Chain A
């Protein structure tokens, strides 16, 4: 149980285009989803927290107009990188929490999406 999927697993796009990444909780309802960014050999950096049906809460320094997050249902959240630039190239990981008995605190992570902007 507690499986989170991400799609696509990797994507290459040209500078100036937009890319959408999907995060799905497959076997539980995720009341809260989180989006992280990870640079090579570094820790995870939280970008934003989203609750189903609410606007996402962005961490300080994260441009909300550039990284659009939508949490339209209890099993799906999307991250859209708008007008992508090479510096947006990174590993994007989502996590989901909620719904399972006794797992109020536990976050389950997706496999990540490697974004390369050329």
Chain B
């Protein structure tokens, strides 16, 4: 019940295209859903996060879509650029008491020219 399932494992997108990464969860107590970007040999960096009271959040080229009834959320990267090539992790946590993050398995994104 604590798992966050992430897909696909790897993704290749052409420059300028839309990259879409999906995550699903079971624990209905999760109330915070961040996405992290990680480059090789570096720590993860917070990209964007959403709470379940909204269905979509946009920051620049990055958008989170959230479907509470389906217990799914996704990251959309518009106008994907080679510099977006990295590993992306979705995560979830509860805001009450035990607030550790549960991470997805990661998606290796490659943007090709």
Contact = CB atoms under 8 A, between A and B. Distances in A.
B105 interface: yes
Contact of B101 (A46, A104, A110, A111): A46
A110 B96 CA distance: 24
Interface string A84-118: 00000001010101000000111111111010000
Contacts of B26: none
Interface in B49-87: 49
Contacts, number: 51
Nearest to A32: B99
B96 to A, nearest CB: 11
Contact of B100 (A34, A110, A114): A34
Contacts of A111: 42-43
Interface of A is mostly: strand
A113 to B, nearest CB: 9
B95 interface: yes
A43 B46 contact: no
B22 interface: no
Nearest to A46: B100
A93 B32 CA distance: 21
Contact of A112 (B34, B41, B106, B108): B41
Given A112-B42, A114-B41, A42 B49 contact: no
B76 to A, nearest CB: 21
A34 B44 CA distance: 13
A104 B44 contact: no
B25 interface: no
B34 A43 contact: no
A109 B103 CA distance: 14
Contact of A44 (B49, B89, B93): B89
Interface of B: 32, 34, 36, 41-46, 49, 89, 93, 95, 99-101, 103-106, 108
The 9 closest A-B pairs by CB, nearest first: A109-B43, A105-B32, A112-B43, A111-B43, A109-B44, A43-B103, A93-B43, A43-B105, A43-B106
